[in-house]
C-alpha cells in the first residue's frame, strides 16, 4: 500500500523556549523568515505525501492561521505589486492540511494516537514539528522507499555522541540487513551511556503501520509520566518487525535553544538577502572574540 498520509505532532508545551512559548507555538518560531513547521510541511510534500494532519494544542492557533488564506494581506501585496512576497504567502495555503487538537499534552505517543481516525488502516509517516532534516532525498521519502521493500514500520535513527544517549530513544540493533537498514532487537528510552545498547538514536521521522494505534491505546505512561511513542514501538516490534534506517544527512534540532540558534545561523548563511552581511558579521565577531580570549588568557 502506498504511503500518502503524514502526521505532525505539534502540541507540546515547548518549555525549553519559555517565556517565548507562553502564548506562541514553538513550531512557529522562524528560521530567518520561515516558521519551523513550514520546513516540515515542505519535506512532506517533497516526499509525495498527499494529506497532512497537524496535532495542535493550546497556543497553537497561529499554525492554523499560517496555512490559511489571508485576504487582507494578499490584496495589500497585490495593490503594492509585491509579487515575490505574494507568491511566498500564497504558497503556504496550497497544501492539503487537517488539524486536530490534543487536549492535554500527555506525550508524543498520545499525540500520535489522536491521528487514529485520520490515518485509518494505512501506513503513515510521523514527522516531529521541531526537527528539520536536510538530505538529497528527504528523510520521509527514504523511509517510504524502505516501506516499499519491507512493508514494515521503519524508524529513522542517527549516530549521536555516546555521552548523549540519555537524551534519546536508543535502538539495540540486531543485524544491518542492507546498507544503513537494521533489524532491531529492542528500543530503549533515554538510557545512560553505560546502559545504552548502541549510539543510534531515534530522530524525528517514523514510518508506522496502523497497528501502532492498538498498541498506543493500551500503552501505560512511561518516562516523565507521558505516553511514550518509543515504548509503543518497542511493543509493536514484539509482534511485527520494526526496522531502523540510519540517516546520514544533517539534522537540525530546533526544539532546543542552542540547536535553534545554530540552525538560524546556518540558514542565514544561505539566504540570498542576508548571507553576505551575516558572513562578514560572523568573521568580524570571531576576530573580536578571539582577541578577547587572548586578553583573558594573559
Contacts 24+ apart (CB under 8 A), 178-182: 180/245, 180/246, 180/248, 181/146, 181/150, 181/154, 181/243, 181/244, 181/245, 181/246, 182/157, 182/243, 182/244, 182/245, 182/246
Please name the residue that has the C-alpha cell 497532512: 52
Sole binder of ligand UTP in the list 3, 6, 55, 203 (CB under 6 A) = 55
Of the two residues 77 and 230, which places its CB atom closer to ligand UTP in the complex? 230
Of the two residues 3 and 8, which places its CB atom closer to ligand UTP in the complex? 8
Residues 272, 218: Cα–Cα separation, whole Å? 50
Residues 129, 187: Cα–Cα separation, whole Å? 22
Of the two residues 6 and 11, which places its CB atom closer to ligand UTP in the complex? 11
Q: Does residue 9 bind ligand UTP (CB under 6 A)?
A: yes
Among 241, 269, 267, smallest CA distance to 254 is for 267
Show the site string, 77-106: x = touches ligand UTP by CB under 6 A, - = not: -------------------------x--xx
C-alpha cell at 297: 588568557
Q: Does residue 155 bind ligand UTP (CB under 6 A)?
A: no
Among 243, 5, 233, 195, smallest CA distance to 108 is for 233
Among 281, 283, 265, 282, smallest CA distance to 32 is for 265
Minimum distance from CB of 182 to ligand UTP (Å)? 23
Sole binder of ligand UTP in the list 14, 123, 173, 222 (CB under 6 A) = 14
Minimum distance from CB of 31 to ligand UTP (Å)? 15
* Only segment of 64-72, 91-99, 127-135, 207-215 that touches ligand UTP (CB under 6 A): 127-135
Sole binder of ligand UTP in the list 111, 215, 254, 278 (CB under 6 A) = 111
- DSSP for residue 229: H
Q: Does residue 128 bind ligand UTP (CB under 6 A)?
A: yes
**Which residues in the 187-246 window bind ligand UTP by CB under 6 A?**
none
Asked if 182 and 246 touch (Cβ cutoff 8 Å), the reply is yes
Among 52, 54, 55, 63, smallest CA distance to 21 is for 63
Residue number closest to ligand UTP, CB atom: 12
Sole binder of ligand UTP in the list 16, 116, 262, 275 (CB under 6 A) = 16
Kindly list the residues in this chain that would bind ligand UTP in the complex (CB under 6 A): 9-16, 55, 102, 105-108, 110-111, 128-130, 255
Amino acid at each position: 500500500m502506498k504511503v500518502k498520509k503524514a502526521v505532525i505532532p505539534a502540541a507540546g508545551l515547548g518549555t525549553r523556549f519559555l517565556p517565548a512559548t507562553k502564548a506562541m507555538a514553538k513550531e512557529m518560531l522562524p528560521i530567518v523568515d520561515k516558521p519551523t513547521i513550514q520546513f516540515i510541511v515542505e519535506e512532506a510534500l517533497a516526499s509525495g505525501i498527499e494529506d497532512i494532519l497537524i496535532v495542535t494544542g493550546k497556543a497553537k492557533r497561529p499554525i492554523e492561521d499560517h496555512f490559511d488564506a489571508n485576504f487582507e494581506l494578499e490584496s495589500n501585496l497585490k495593490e503594492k505589486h509585491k509579487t515575490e512576497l505574494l507568491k511566498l504567502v500564497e504558497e503556504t495555503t496550497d497544501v492539503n492540511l487537517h488539524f486536530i487538537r490534543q487536549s492535554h499534552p500527555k506525550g508524543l505517543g498520545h499525540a500520535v494516537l489522536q491521528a487514529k481516525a485520520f490515518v485509518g488502516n494505512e501506513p503513515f509517516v510521523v514527522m516531529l514539528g521541531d526537527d528539520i532534516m536536510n538530505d538529497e532525498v528527504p528523510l520521509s521519502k527514504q523511509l517510504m522507499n524502505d516501506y516499499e521493500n519491507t512493508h514494515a514500520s521503519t524508524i529513522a535513527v542517527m549516530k549521536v555522541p555516546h555521552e548523549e544517549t540519555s537524551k534519546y530513544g536508543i535502538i539495540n540493533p540486531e543485524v544491518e540487513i542492507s546498507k544503513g537498514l537494521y533489524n532491531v532487537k529492542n528500543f530503549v528510552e533515554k538510557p545512560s551511556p553505560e546502559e545504552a545498547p548502541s549510539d543510534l538514536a531515534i530522530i524525528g521521522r517514523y514510518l508506522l503501520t496502523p497497528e501502532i494505534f492498538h498498541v498506543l491505546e493500551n500503552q501505560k505512561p512511561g518516562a516523565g509520566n507521558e505516553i511514550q511513542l518509543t515504548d509503543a514501538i518497542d511493543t509493536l516490534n514484539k509482534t511485527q518487525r520494526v526496522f531502523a534506517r540510519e540517516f546520514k544527512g544533517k539534522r537540525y534540532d530546533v526544539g532546543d535553544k542552542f540547536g535553534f540558534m545554530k540552525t538560524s545561523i546556518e540558514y542565514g548563511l544561505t539566504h540570498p538577502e542576508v548571507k553576505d552581511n551575516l558572513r562578514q558579521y560572523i568573521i568580524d565577531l570571531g576576530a573580536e572574540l578571539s582577541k578577547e580570549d587572548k586578553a583573558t588568557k594573559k
